[in-house]
Amino acid sequence: MTIRIWSTSPSFGYFAAGPVNFLKSLGYEVDLVPQGKKLSEEEMIRSVKDYDAIIAGIMPISGPIIKAAPKLRIIAQHGVGVNHIDVKAASEKGIVVTNAPGGNSDAVADLTMGLFISLARRIPYADRLVRNGQWAPIVGNQVSGKVLGIVGLGQIGKKVAQRGVGFNMKVLAYDVFKDYEFAKKWGIQYLSLDDVLAQADYISMHVPLSPETNKLIGERELRLMKKDACLVNVARGTIMDEESLYRVLKEGRIKGAALDVFSNEPPTGNPLLTLDNVIVTPHMGGYTIETLEEVGMICAKNIVEVMNGRPPQFVVNSEVLK
């Protein structure tokens, strides 16, 4: 019987063909949800019953969807975060949930540094100025030699730290789980969240979304920052209290922010989009050809392992393997 795989990811199979070709070479059937198409829960319930595996993107994989899939054996997240997957419901049915940590860390770290530089040198504003027929020097700030604050020194945070060191930045970090060996090697100082926010010139967010990190950065935390500090969020939108961030930016209390993620995506009507000191990008941190190839292959190989009765990599609900 042919193994059928359903990808609800907006990027799997569209930019890097290797993972799809790998699965098809093994005789698997792969169906892709068209790019940009958003399915309702009811539509997903009607479709999922025929599939042995799901490659998940950002559309929710709810309990009712999982319960409507009698053949489903694995949900492979095409990325890291699984907060949109009902992992408990999957575990109750013995369905393995996997993700792909670290596969996008270089891509997200590159974007983080690019956003820092864009904020510091006001690159998007300068581009608009010249296109509108104006020509005047735009005075910005340097990134090199400044203080970099990293909130969440995990795989992505560490890549950002390494890039910061390359820019001759002093690196401060806040994390509940501390890797002292890495910190010593790269000259990173662990501090409290408040101290990182108060001392850094450039701050980037890299914590996972959890009850503890939801709205981790609110009004109080934002007002601890330096007046000329810049903030980058490439983690999850709800880590920031967006209403507080809007007020602080509108007041000019901090210099600027760059946001790749929002509490609601797309952020239609979000007042942050009206501010000149905000740079916005469409949740593209992990979207490079190299990353999509790597993350896609992790998903594909995990599916193959499960279908052959072997434990896959990066299992989120390891209790199902027991």
In angstroms, the CA 316 to CA 300 distance is 16
What is the pLDDT at residue 39?
94
Peptide bond preceding 124 in cis form (omega within 30 of 0): no
pLDDT category, 47, cuts 50, 70, 90?
very high
In the chain the domains, ranked by start, together with CATH numbers, are 4-103+288-321 (3.40.50.720), 105-280 (3.40.50.720)
What is the pLDDT at residue 161?
98
> Which position among 122, 236, 242, 294 bears the catalytic label?
236
pLDDT per position as a tens digit, 260-274: 999 999 999 999 999
Find the helix or strand (DSSP H, E) in which 250 lies. Answer: helix 242-251
Gyration radius from the chain CA atoms: 21
End-to-end CA distance of the chain: 26
For the chain, give the mean pLDDT: 96
Contact indicator for 112, 160 with CB cutoff of 8 Å: yes
Contact indicator for 140, 122 with CB cutoff of 8 Å: yes
In angstroms, the CA 69 to CA 73 distance is 9
Residue 265 appears among annotated catalytic residues: yes
Residue 139 phi/psi, 5-degree rounding, is -90, 125
> Which position among 265, 290, 293, 294 bears the catalytic label?
265
In angstroms, the CA 99 to CA 90 distance is 14
Find the helix or strand (DSSP H, E) in which 32 lies. Answer: strand 29-32
Answer yes or no: is pLDDT of 81 > 90. no
pTM of whole model > 0.85? yes
In angstroms, the CA 261 to CA 140 distance is 25
Q: With pLDDT > 90 as the criterion, what percentage of the chain qualifies?
A: 94
What is the pLDDT at residue 58?
87
In angstroms, the CA 174 to CA 36 distance is 36
> Which position among 73, 78, 206, 283 bears the catalytic label?
283
Residue that has been written with the tokens 């997240």 in this structure: 77
Residue 236 appears among annotated catalytic residues: yes
For residue 261 the two structure tokens come to: 């993620």
Q: Which residues, 6 or more positions from 187, have their beta carbon under 8 angstroms from its beta carbon?
A: 165, 171
Among 78-87, 125-134, 178-187, 228-237, name the one with the lowest average pLDDT: 78-87
For residue 129 the two structure tokens come to: 């100025």
Contact indicator for 100, 307 with CB cutoff of 8 Å: no
Residue that has been written with the tokens 């969240």 in this structure: 193
What is the pLDDT at residue 223?
97
What is the pLDDT at residue 167?
98
What is the pLDDT at residue 180?
98
Contact indicator for 191, 218 with CB cutoff of 8 Å: no
Answer yes or no: is pLDDT of 303 > 90. yes
DSSP string, 86-155: -HHHHHHTT-EEE--TTTTHHHHHHHHHHHHHHHHHTHHHHHHHHHTT----------TTSEEEEE--SH
Residue that has been written with the tokens 């025929």 in this structure: 50
Q: Which amino acid is at 233?
A: N
Identify which of 73, 67, 57 has the alpha carbon closest to the alpha carbon of residue 10.
57
Residue 215 phi/psi, 5-degree rounding, is 55, 40
What is the pLDDT at residue 57?
93
pLDDT category, 36, cuts 50, 70, 90?
confident
Strand, helix or coil at 279?
strand
Residue 310 appears among annotated catalytic residues: no
Answer yes or no: is pLDDT of 102 > 90. no
Query: What's the rounded mean pLDDT across residues 142-155?
Result: 97
Residue that has been written with the tokens 């903030």 in this structure: 231
CB atoms inside a 10 Å sphere around CB 153 = 26
CA dihedral 291, 293, 296, 301 (to 10 degrees): -120
In angstroms, the CA 252 to CA 112 distance is 22
pLDDT category, 1, cuts 50, 70, 90?
confident
